[in-house]
Amino acid sequence: MATLELIHVTKRFGKKVVAVDDFSLRVEDGEFLVLLGPSGCGKTTTLRMIAGLEEVTEGRILIDGEDVTDLPPRKRNVSMVFQNYAVWPHMTVYDNIAYPLRLKRVDKKTIDETVREAARMTKIEELLDRYPSQLSGGQQQRVAVARALAVKPKLFLMDEPLSNLDAKLRVATRTELKAIHEKTGATTIFVTHDQSEAMSLADRIVIMRDGKIEQIGTPDDVYHRSASIFVADFIGTPPTNFIDVEVQVRDDQIHLVNPYFDFPLNPENAAKLRDYPKRELILGVRPENIVLVSEDEAIFSTQCLVSEPQGSHQIIAIELDGKIIKIVAPAYPKVRSGETIHLNFKQEAIAFFDKDTGRRIE
């Protein structure tokens, strides 16, 4: 497969719209990298520049060390799977997969072997004689993936390929995509706005915001060590809870204080704030890191606003300082609306963010 480098890549549309802004990234050989972000953040534009479907305004794109910035798509040796599948309705599944190989004038025997190998990988061997109109959405998507695999590209590019599938099929298909990647070792760049999709598929995730990179890291990095409030809020369902607190030093201990609680930090967290110059910050706590405890272990008590049973767990909502705070708790014992609950934080898992910049305080 291949490595990919984007070096200070910028894409402008006209004079005012900057879709991608000074974007630099290296993708390693065989890596599954996901570009993740909200609509309009520049992730699809970045993918289209890699494919050669959009011109680069500034910067360079290298595949295996070769500068391909000005090469047309057909000379880059990349395959792209689109959101709408883009399978040809007048061709059988076999002919859809074989078509790009015929364009390259590959011999018939090799085409047949390659088509059947790609069909086996994507589990559509029994569909080769059918037409797209006879297939489900998930089957059509697998045809598009098989066609992209058949040409053995250096880069495998996927633009929200699962977004047209229903929720259950999306989960099943992403598992298949992960298995195909494990078999092929193809260097893959995958675009999505679905954070659970990104977390389940990626070796690394690039979180984008307004055309820029907000954070790059493994799924664990972006979830447990979110670099900013934006990332902590975007990753995770339910998202991170954010609570305004004041930093106070008493008896040589650092306390976090707000109208509902006052508790001392453990030594590891206190060290992060020892030299922090501001009196106020934002405490970030993921829902699973607020725990139900007995009254004598609690740092604060409050009433349950609502409880949402989820089978394996329950999501408890409380109101704190005018904000809704969500807690992921075990399924039992059941918590009822209006019930008084006692809460504590897992200190090893809390995060601190600067109020002005939104960046994590380390």
Domains, the chain, with CATH or none = 4-234 (3.40.50.300), 241-353 (2.40.50.140)
pTM value is 0.90
CA distances from 191 to 108, 172, 222, 305 (A): 34, 18, 16, 37
- The pLDDT score that the predictor gives to residue 54 is 96
What's the whole-number average pLDDT of the chain? 93
- The pLDDT score that the predictor gives to residue 323 is 92
Region of 196 (left: φ > 0; alpha: ψ -120 to 50; beta: rest) is alpha
CA distance 172 to 141: 12
pLDDT in tens, 176-219: 888 888 888 889 999 999 999 999 999 999 999 999 999 999 99
pLDDT in tens, 261-277: 999 999 999 999 988 99
Q: Give me 225's structure tokens.
A: 């060590």
CA distance 184 to 121: 9
Least confident of 98-102, 315-319, 345-349: 98-102
pLDDT in tens, 207-258: 999 999 999 999 999 999 999 999 999 999 999 999 999 999 998 899 999 9
CA distances from 116 to 102, 329, 361 (A): 15, 48, 53
- The pLDDT score that the predictor gives to residue 166 is 80
Mean pLDDT of 106-111: 93
Mean pLDDT of 135-161: 88
pLDDT in tens, 36-65: 999 999 999 999 999 999 999 999 999 999
- The pLDDT score that the predictor gives to residue 203 is 96
Mean pLDDT of 293-299: 95
Which residue type sits at 163? S
Residue 104: pLDDT over 90: no
Residue 85: pLDDT over 80: no
Lateral strand order in the sheet of 300-303: 290-292, 340-345, 300-303
- The pLDDT score that the predictor gives to residue 15 is 85
